[in-house]
Amino acid sequence: MQIRELAVPDAYVLDLVPHGDARGRFTEWYRADVLAEATGFGLTLAQANHSVSARGALRGVHFALVPPGQAKYVYCPAGKVLDVVVDVRVGSPTFGVHDAVLLDSEQPRAVYLAEGLGHAFVSLADASSVTYLVSSGYSPGREFGVHPMDPELDLPWPADVEFELSAKDLAAPSLAQAREQGLLPTLEQCTARYDQLRA
């Protein structure tokens, strides 16, 4: 298992190693020790989510208020998705920067994003499964979004896909509007949270 930081600080991609024989394939898709060595703290597991999406289903950009925020560890065991991480932390030198990773079942990878970062993905194949571990449970009053088609973000969505968004994501503000409304976490809040977790 190889791990490297993405263009968005505090987000990582993990290249997984599948082992196969005549019976099929086996993959270690999560290793707490590998992740903790990179981040300096472990992932507190509070909830595990699983979605199945038709081609074109676009979910995000979602984030949670910090503290506690919601770190995510994302894996695609079947199908194919383009996974996107966005720095929505006000005060971050990389505020508004994004990075994207193709997650699929043929060349398995996982993405980790720390508390305070924005997350989205689009399904590139019918019945794409995404499984993700999260550090805090669902809390509707503390979870928000930024519109995934915000031209300021200019996210790398493929041109050959017809997108399907939820009503909530369609109504989400732009990054600038979310900032003006005070919805975004700050780098100071996130750094304090990471320091707390390392302690």
Catalytic member of 30, 62, 73, 119: 62
Catalytic member of 12, 30, 112, 132: 132
Asked if 50 is an active-site residue, the reply is: no
**Domain limits, the chain:** 2-198
Would you say 142 and 109 are in contact if contact means Cβ atoms under 8 Å apart? no
Tell me yes or no: is domain 2-198 CATH 2.30.110.10. no
What is the C-alpha to C-alpha distance for residues 43 and 103, in angstroms, rounded to an integer? 20
Cβ partners under 8 Å of residue 48, min gap 6: 131, 132, 133, 134
Task: Specify the pLDDT at position 105.
Answer: 85
Give 10-residue mean pLDDT values along the chain (199 residues).
97 95 94 96 96 98 97 98 98 98 94 98 98 95 96 97 97 98 98 96
Say if residue 83 is exposed, middle or buried (CB neighbours under 10 Å; 0-12, 13-18, 19+).
buried
What is the C-alpha to C-alpha distance for residues 115 and 53, in angstroms, rounded to an integer? 24
Model-level pTM?
0.96
Asked if 194 is an active-site residue, the reply is: no
What is the C-alpha to C-alpha distance for residues 39 and 105, in angstroms, rounded to an integer? 25
